[in-house]
Structure 1
Amino acid sequence: MARWIESWLPGSPAGTDAAETHPGEKFGLPADGPNAVAGLGRRFVALFLDWILAYLVALAFLGVDGLADPNIRWIVLAIWYVITVLGVAVIGMTPGKVVARIRVARTDMAQFVGVPRAMLRTLLIVLVLPPLARDGDGRGWHDRASTTIAVRTR
């Protein structure tokens, strides 16, 4: 039985007869193993690694003295944004996602995420709240808005 709050939320399972047994089932994803929904821990690891990479790229161009620049956080954010958009749009992965063994896939199972979806998804990640507000499939608002889902590669 659905909780009362689920009855008015968009995309809620309230009123449906079939209960899902695991996250991603409605997209045809397995419960475990490759192509299963990636957990929040893997996603945080990937984000952290990509953020460190953005700092390293910024330091490579600005030098160690760049850390004293008051705009360093905006420079790092811009570098992270570009790395994330390009990686997700073209191959569905960023360097951090490769290490965390996850990728971003479209829910309609199209081959590429594409630049517009990747830009929207990444912009919403910058706002922080959308990735934390997750649905039953482990998709944040950023994934729902871009019709994507993060899945495990192994």
Structure 2
Amino acid sequence: MVDRRDIGSWLEGPGSRSGASSAYPGERLGMPRDGAGSMGRFGRRLVGVVLDWSACQLIAFAFFGVPLPFAGVATGRDTAVLLAIFALENLLLVGTLGSTLGHRVVGLRVQATDGRLPRPFQSLVRTVLLCLFLPAMFWDKDGRGLHDKAAGTVIVRT
């Protein structure tokens, strides 16, 4: 009989069938355990995205009249404007600087798995999947979300 452990998960990547576990997130990717260059952990990433989303809400309020949370009822158009601003922020800043405003504040950056800045196509794939939200909710043993795995990127500490 085939067991789930025999199949592994597509999120677990290479080594999932062998049962080889890593001592810390990022070890399989050749990253250090702690300090600069180590995997960005969930707490920092969550604070970073909350800061980014808040900044985008303020921009949408100031320039497009989108109501702030709990200050009015947002329409479908308002949500689309807010998501477009969030996507533009991620696409431009990750593609050019390697980090969004929120990433910069919490000491994170996005890089390709080879250590360089994400290429434009990687930034585009990552942004589109991030805006779909659901891919960001699933991650592997290293803490990489589906949006980062598909784009070939990783979030590391600075």
Short-chain TM bin: 0.7 to 0.9
Q: Indicate conservation of the 8 Å contact 1:107/1:148, yes or no.
A: yes
TM-aligned CA distance change 1:6 to 1:140, over 3 Å: farther
TM-aligned CA distance change 1:97 to 1:6, over 3 Å: farther
Q: Indicate conservation of the 8 Å contact 1:55/1:76, yes or no.
A: yes
Alignment of 1:42-61 (within 5 A): 42-61=44-63
CA distances 1:26-79 after superposition (whole Å, capped 9, x unpaired): 22211011111111111111111111111111122134xx42662211111101
Q: Structure 2 unaligned segments of length 5 or more: list them.
A: none
Q: Indicate conservation of the 8 Å contact 1:88/1:94, yes or no.
A: yes
1:16 shift after superposition: 3.9
Alignment of 1:87-106 (within 5 A): 87-106=93-112
Q: Indicate conservation of the 8 Å contact 2:5/2:17, yes or no.
A: no
Which residue does the alignment assign to 1:116? 121
Q: Secondary structure at the match of 2:154?
A: strand
Q: Indicate conservation of the 8 Å contact 1:6/1:12, yes or no.
A: no
- Between Structure 1 and Structure 2, how many residues are aligned? 147
* Deviant stretches of 4+, over 3 Å: 14-19
RMSD: 1.9
Q: Distance in 1 between matches of 2:112 and 2:80?
A: 29
Structure 1 position 143 matched with structure 2 position 142: no
The TM-score normalised by the length of structure 2 is: 0.84
Q: Which of 84, 88, 95 in structure 2 is aligned with 1:82?
A: 88
Aligned-pair identity in percent equals 35
